[in-house]
Each structure stands twice: as C-alpha cells, then as structure tokens.
Structure 1
C-alpha cells in the first residue's frame, strides 16, 4: 500500500488522472489503483480537470499536456496556485524540450514520458507524493541547465535578491544545496545521515520561509544563488 506520513497516522495517497483518451486514462487509473493509490477523480478535458481537482483535492495530479478546452500547462498554473499542497506529475507523449520547460515553469514537479513502464509510472507517482522532482532520464539535466542559464543572466534582467529575505539555518542551507544538485530526498537523507522525514521537514520549512510553492521553485532559487556550485559541497 502506498502511503504518505501524517502526524500520528498514515494516509493513502490520493491521485487524479487527466487525459483526453478514455482507454489510456482508464488504464493509468487502474494501474495506480492496483498499486495502492486512491484514485479520487479522473478528467478528460482541461476545464473538467480544474473543477474536479478543486473538489477532490488530490495529493498528486497525473496530467497530460495535450487537452481540449484548456491546455495542460494552464490547468497546472490554475491548480498549483489554488491547491498549494498538490503536486503535478506530467505524463506526456512529447519529449520536446520546450514542452518540458513550459510544464516546469507552470508548476509541474515532474515530467514522465508515456513510453514509461507501469513500474516506472508507479515509482514516479510515489516519489512525486514524497516531494521529489521526478523526470524521465535526460530531462532532469535539461531543467537544471535551463535554471543555470537563467541564473547566468544579468541581475537587472531577473531582479535583485531581497535583502530582507528570511535566514535559513545551517542544516536547511545544507539540504537546499543538495536539492539544487538534483539529489532525491532519500539520497540527501543518506548523505547527511538523517531520516527521509527529516529531509522533508527541512524542505517544507525552507519553502515556507522563502514563500515558494514547490521543489522546482526551490531548485531555481538555490541555483540563482550559486548553491549548486561543486565547491560548496559538504
């Protein structure tokens, strides 16, 4: 049974599947339910997805980009803004770099190609629920490369740092540095010899202090400040 930790209890991860092809949508929903997830809703177009997601409040939204009525990236933008506790895993047939970057900039925390196996999908949904940024092999480097490109732009083009930004603890900074390097929560926990849950707590505290919404925004924040510099490795 796939579960997420809560204070004093464990709850089944709630998942919603959005795709305009009924057979594909039903198959994905069936596979995820068989793996122990609670499939709380499905939708076949963008506007329906927004309505049903707001009603069902899933933990993870498995989202296709090519949708009628409202594009997947717009669905992502609207829902990430109104359901900050929800994470979005894009499941798309497109591996085009522009599509990947647009999805991430819209708030998606992961991007998986439809050529992935059922086992890969299940693992990706589980990791997304745990707070990891999950990408089809090769795409993670693309996203990190784009963030580094943006970070290299003149400060005047991307805004100056807020001198009144909240201070992070040494441990939060240490975790943030490893997040910026692309390590998963489990890898960070192993590196720092702390629990997976403790890593999650540090990341959530950092997100709150910096007023960011998800791990993807956190990675960009860290890279813009040079925290992915190999010279800073612990």
Structure 2
C-alpha cells in the first residue's frame, strides 16, 4: 500500500517519515500524476477551511484512497466532521511512528481508527429519550431556516467564527442560534447535535 502526505504548509512529519520511508508528498495540481494503487492519504487539516472543503479536493484527486485527517490540535468536533465524510482515521499531526503504523494496520484490515477520547464519549453517551427519537426524524422541521443552516455547518466541523463569516452574521448571533438549536432539540452539546444532523 502506498502512502501520501498532503499539506499546504508542512513538510512530511517525522513520525510519518519513520513509519513509512517511501511516503510521498501529494501534489494536488490538476496535471500531476498520482499512482492508482490502493493508498492511504494522510492530510494535514488547515484552519480557515472546513473539513468538507479540504476533503472534496482530495476525493476528486484520489477517489479510491483511504483518508486520515491529521490535526495540530485534535478535538472531538473536528474528528466527528472527518468521520462524517467517510475518512478512515484521525490523529495528531505529530503522532509517533508506532501509533501511525497501528493506524495504517487497522485501516488495511478494513477498520476505522477513532481516538480514545471520542470513542469514550460515543460509548458513554446516554440513550436518547423517547421525545428525541421523534425529533430526530424531522429535526430540521423544528428549527428556523437560519438555525438549520447553523446546525448543518456544525455537522461538518465549522467553528462559530467560520459560520459567522459564511452566513454574514456576528459570532454572538451564531452563539445565540446554537443555543436555540440545542434547546429546541433537547441536546446537551455540539457533539450530540453533529451526530444527529449527520445521520439524517
């Protein structure tokens, strides 16, 4: 299996170089030739762009590759956004070679690498109360158009600042919308909201 690293501003991290000595930088230029062999693309998540925007370009370039998001500051919301777009893994940009080899091994066996923190939250999340099951079927019908737009942006990992820019409103207004959405859907946090939205 071939390995590629994609980043606008980073050279190949030391851990990746040690784990996969033959790893190559992925050239996203339209004319660049890329091997059609089964590959894992390790991509560096950049601030200022949603995960969806970044992965769209990668999937166009290498539609049959497996993708692993690498974050300088990993967090559960970003991880959820990565997995909602069918990536196979998510880890720290500076993870050690042993961890990266484990991730690759899990992916090659058809699995998905989910960090311990997110896994605990997903497993520890209490079952939805009966009224939430009804809401889940038509969650967007409970919300205003603006609230629905905010909810969908959260599901792809957008921050309040990114949502404000995208919608042409203030961050304070975004926070108000988020609060209203959580209240109407009887959810505790953005992670639960993202899980609800991405599954519908």
Q: TM-score, normalised by structure 2?
A: 0.52
Q: Does 1:42 align with 2:42?
A: no
Preserved CA contact (<8 Å) 2:15 2:94: no
Shift in CA distance, 79/19, structure 1 to aligned 2, threshold 3 Å: closer
In the alignment, what sits opposite 2:76? 97
Computed over aligned residues only, the root mean square deviation of the Cα atoms, in angstroms, reads: 3.7
Distance change in 2, residues 1:82/1:17 (3 Å): closer
Structure 1 residues 128 and 67: CA distance shift in structure 2, 3 A: farther
Partners of 1:103 and 1:53 in 2: CA distance: 25
Q: Residues 126 and 155 of structure 1: is their aligned pair in 2 closer, same or farther, counting only changes over 3 Å?
A: same
CA distance in 2, matches of 1:133, 1:55: 24
CA distance 1:29–1:96, change in 2 (3 Å) = closer
- The alignment partner of 1:62 has SS state of strand
Aligned pairs for 1:108-147 within 5 A:
108-142=87-121
Q: 1:28 to 1:55 in 2, by over 3 A?
A: same
> Is 1:32 aligned with 2:19?
yes
1-side partners of 2:31 and 2:97: how far apart?
A: 25
User: Cα–Cα, structure 1 residues 72 and 156, in superposed 2: closer, same or farther, change >3 Å?
Assistant: closer
1:32 deviates by 3.0
What corresponds to 1:61 in structure 2?
Answer: 41
Do the aligned residues in 2 keep the contact of 1:76 with 1:107 (CA within 8 Å)?
A: no
Preserved contact between residue 65 and residue 92 of structure 1 (Cα < 8 Å): yes
Cα deviation for residue 93 of structure 1 reads 1.6
Structure 1: gaps spanning 5 or more residues: 1-12, 159-219, 225-234
Q: From the superposition, tell whether residues 132 and 116 of structure 1 become closer, same or farther in structure 2 (CA, over 3 Å).
A: same
**Residue 44 of structure 2 contacts residue 71 of structure 2 at CA under 8 Å; is this kept in 1?**
yes
CA change 1:142–1:156 in 2 (3 A) is same
Higher relative contact order (CA 8 A, sep 6+): 2
The alpha carbon displacement at 1:54 in A equals 7.0
1:77 aligns with 2:77: no
What SS does the corresponding residue of 1:133 show, helix, strand or coil?
coil
Q: Tell me what 2:159 maps to.
A: none
1:199 maps to which residue?
none
SS at match of 2:73: coil
